[in-house]
Copies of this chain bind each other. A is one copy, B any other.
Amino acid sequence: MSDRPVVVLGADGFLGWPTALHLSAHGHQVIAVDNLVRRRWDRECGTSSLAPIASMPQRVRAWKRTSGRDIEWRRLDVCDARAMSALIAEFRPSAIVHFAEQRSAPFSMIDREHAVMTQLRNVEGTLNLLFALRDLAPDCHLVKLGTMGEYGTPNIDIEEGFITIEHNGRRDTLPYPKRPGSFYHLSKVHDSNNMEFTSRIWGIRATDLNQGVVYGCETDETALHPTLATRFDYDVIWGTVLNRFCVQAALGQPLTVYGRGGQTRGFLDIRDTVECIRISIENPASRGQYRVFNQFTEQFSVKGLAELVSQARDAHGLSTTIKHISNPRVELEEHYYNAKHQHLIDLGLQPHLLRRTLIDSVIQTVERHRKRVDLVALQKPNVDWRSGGGRAAADRQVTVA
């Protein structure tokens, strides 16, 4: 293991915080960085984490008390190029994990302001980072969170970042064609293209983790103390689908499926997210290598997930209904989907496959915080892909830093 630290950008987020803890637990010296804008977006959208979340200083102190380990906390915006460069110059990290982007598809679809803000700030932050690496830490390994949503739903197998194409009697291995489904997903495609380029011309070491939809709310480390909990989103802007189903099930509400529900995606347990990051860091890309790992463990359709939740409730003698509502997104509702995800397995990932016990445990977490559920947030109108809108649009305020 390198004796240089690992910087985690976006360390206040749903996955950034558990990643910071997991890396620290495994002996990495961790610098946790965030601009805290996610908490302000909650206020803007009228959303909040179901589980109460502590401030970053509180979290870091709780981790020290619990584990005896130090995490250094820095408040910093990746779009502040000068501060970013100073950070890299100060720590000369061996690796940087980059979660510090606006990561909600519905948020990016609210209106022009949210689309522009999502794309410009996500692209700018990553560009700042790439230039800082070129100039100050050319050997540092960039581990960047992409998304499986970059690929869309092609009618051929999805490979990991690149595909070998035979065409008119010739052959080349080229970046996998992308057809993403929101301005947010597009921002990740822009980042991927910028990263591939800078690996090629500057020799940047880069791993692009095209992550699937994450479920679950606890890792070994966040479970150690309530102050270490990470956020749990269940609203239509920030919540991921299985977590939202679990909240609906806990409240005895119908599970709401968009359209026919045949939309199929890659999914993974939050405990696998943090392991994938650790594995990527401990098996770095080489100089000039831009590699892509598809970071998920199983494929499910939305309707299939709803049925799993319903079956988990049945096992406790509880009945759940599934309600198909009109799809606010523009997407295929029945389609071929076969995405490869071998690279991380080859590096040692041992997946936590989705079991009824996980669904039970998420529902138990919801029940613990039942009084905090905002029924309005749970039921509010979705952002429509065609016309925008949604509660967040009401005040047309876009917080950018």
Contact = CB atoms under 8 A, between A and B. Distances in A.
A202 B124 CA distance: 26
Interface stretch (A7-15, A57-65, A111-119): A111-119
Interface residues of A, number: 48
Contacts of A182: 197
For the complex formed by this chain, how many copies does it contain in all? 2
Given A119-B123, A120-B124, A186-B194, A202 B386 contact: yes
A155 B171 contact: yes
Interface in A289-341: 330, 336
B194 A168 contact: no
Interface string A177-213: 1111111001001100110110011100000000000
Contacts of A197: 179-183, 186
A395 interface: no
A64 B226 CA distance: 75
A371 interface: no
Interface string A31-50: 00000000000000000000
A172 interface: yes
A313 to B, nearest CB: 35
A131 interface: yes
A329 to B, nearest CB: 9
Contact of A155 (B170, B186, B194): B170
Interface string A90-118: 00000000000000000000011001100
Contacts of A163: 165, 167, 177
A232 interface: no
A36 to B, nearest CB: 23
A127 B131 contact: no
A330 B155 contact: no
A303 to B, nearest CB: 22
B165 A81 contact: no
Contacts of A174: 154, 156, 177, 179
Given A115-B127, A167-B163, A193-B190, A154 B172 contact: yes
A156 B179 contact: no
A390 to B, nearest CB: 16
Nearest to A174: B177
A199 to B, nearest CB: 11
A186 B179 CA distance: 16
Contacts of A183: 127, 194, 197
Contacts of A193: 178, 180, 186, 189-190
5 contacts: A81-B112, A119-B127, A156-B170, A157-B170, A186-B194
Given A154-B174, A165-B165, A166-B166, 10 more contacts: A112-B128, A112-B131, A115-B131, A119-B190, A156-B167, A157-B167, A165-B177, A170-B336, A175-B178, A179-B200
Interface of A: 81, 111-112, 115-116, 119-120, 123-124, 127-128, 131, 154-157, 163, 165-168, 170-172, 174-183, 186, 189-190, 193-194, 196-197, 200-202, 330, 336, 385-386
